[in-house]
Amino acid sequence: MPSDASLLSTTVRRRRRITSASSLHLILAIHSLLAVFSLCIDDQGRALLAWKQTLNSSTDALRSWNPSDLTPCRWAGVLCNAAGEVVEIALRSLDLQGSLPSNLRPLKSLRALTISATNISGSIPREFGDYTELRFLDLSKNQISGEISPELCKLRKLESLLLNSNAIRGAIPLDIGNLSSLVHLTLYDNNLAGEIPTSIGKLGKLQVFRAGGNQNLRGPLPAEIGNCISLVMLGLAETGISGSLPSSIGLLRRVQTIAIYTAFLSGPIPEEIKNCVELRNLYLYQNSLSGPIPPQLGKLRKLQNLLLWQNNLVGLIPPELGSCTDLLVLDLSVNLLTGSIPSSFGNLTSLQELQLSTNKLTGSIPLEISNCTAMIDLELDNNQLSGEIQLDFHRLAGLNLFFAWQNELTGGIPDSLTHCEGLQSLDLSYNSLSGPIPRQIFKLQNLTKLLLLSNELSGLLPPEVGNCTNLFRFRANGNRLAGMIPSEIGNLKYLNFLDLSDNRFVGPIPPAISECSSLEFLDLHSNSLSGSLPAVLPGSLQFVDVSNNMLTGPLSSGFSTLTALTKLVLRRNRLTGSIPAELGSCERLQLLDLGDNGFSDQIPPELGKLPALEISLNLSCNQLIGEIPSEFAGLGKLGCLDVSHNKLTGGLDVLAGLQNLVTLNISSNAFSGKLPDTPFFRKLPLSDLDGNNGLYIAGGVAAGGGAKAARSAVKLAMSVLVSISALLLLMAIYMLARARAGRRNSDDGDDSVWEVTLYQKLDLCLDDVVRSLTSANVVGTGSSGVVYKVTLRSGDTLAVKKMWSPSSGEEEVPGAFRNEIAALGSIRHRNITRLLGWGANRTTRLLFYSYHPNGSLSSFLHGAAGKRVADWETRYDIVLGLAHAVAYLHHDCVPPILHGDVKAMNVLLGPSFEPYLADFGLARPVTVSSDKDPRGSPRLAGSYGYMAPEHGSAQRITEKSDVYSYGVVLLEVLTGRHPLDPSLPCGKHLAQWVLDHWHGKGDPADVLDPRLRGRTDSQMQEIAQALALSVLCLSSRAGDRPTMKDVVALLVEIRRPVADVPKESGAAATVASSPPVRSFALQGSSNCSFALSDASC
- Whole-number Å distance between alpha carbons of 247 and 270: 5
CA dihedral 334, 340, 345, 346 (to 10 degrees): 140
Cβ-proximal residues to 1053 (8 Å cutoff; 6+ apart), any chain? 1061, 1065, 1068, 1070, 1078, 1080
Residue 477's region, left for phi above 0, alpha for psi from -120 to 50, else beta, is beta
Please give the Cα distance from 36 to 68 (Å, whole number): 9
SS3 (DSSP) at 331: strand
138 by Cβ neighbours in 10 Å (0-12 / 13-18 / 19+) ranks as: buried
CB neighbours (10 Å) of residue 689? 25
Neighbours of 1092 (CB within 10 A): 20
The DSSP result for 840-907, as a single string, is E-SS-EEEEEE--TT-BHHHHHHSS-GGGGG-HHHHHHHHHHHHHHHHIIIIISSS-EE-S---GGGE
Q: 523, 547 in Cβ contact below 8 A?
A: no
Structural contact between residues 365 and 342, judged by C-beta atoms closer than 8 angstroms: no
Backbone angles phi, psi at 571, to 5 degrees: -65, 160
Are the CB atoms for 856 and 904 separated by under 8 Å?
yes
**Distance, CA of 363 to CA of 409 (rounded, Å):** 10
Catalytic residue among 901, 933, 962, 1009: 901
Name every residue whose Cβ is closer than 8 Å to that of residue 355 and which is 6 or more positions away in sequence.
Answer: 309, 329, 330, 331, 332, 333, 377, 379, 941
The DSSP letter of residue 147 is B
Chain centroid, CA 657 distance in Å:
40
How does DSSP classify residue 745?
Answer: T
Residue type, position 103, single letter: N
Separation of alpha carbons 357 and 404, rounded Å: 8
List CB contacts of 90: < 8 A, sequence separation 6 or more. 77, 79, 112, 114
SS (H, E, C) 795-835: CCEEEEEEECCCCCCCCCCCHHHHHHHHHHCCCCCCCECCE
Residues with Cβ within 8 Å of residue 500, at least 6 apart in sequence: 461, 476, 477, 481, 485, 523, 524, 527
To the query of whether residue 901 is one of the catalytic residues in this protein, the response is yes
CA-angle at 411, arms to 410 and 412, nearest 5°:
125
Q: Is 802 annotated as a binding residue?
A: yes
Of 772, 766, 788, 779, the closest CA to residue 839 belongs to: 766
What region does 780 belong to: left with phi over 0, alpha with psi -120 to 50, or beta? left
User: How do strand 184-186 and strand 1068-1071 relate by DSSP bridges?
Assistant: unpaired
Q: By 3-state DSSP, what share of the chain in percent is helix, strand and coil, each rounded to 5? A: 30, 25, 45
- 341, 316 in Cβ contact below 8 A? no
Task: Round to the nearest angstrom and report the end-to-end CA distance of the chain.
Answer: 74
Q: How far apart are CA 946 and CA 271, in angstroms?
A: 32
Q: Beta partners for 578?
A: 600
The residues carrying an active-site annotation are 901
Q: List the binding residues.
A: 802
Q: List the binding residues for ATP.
A: 802
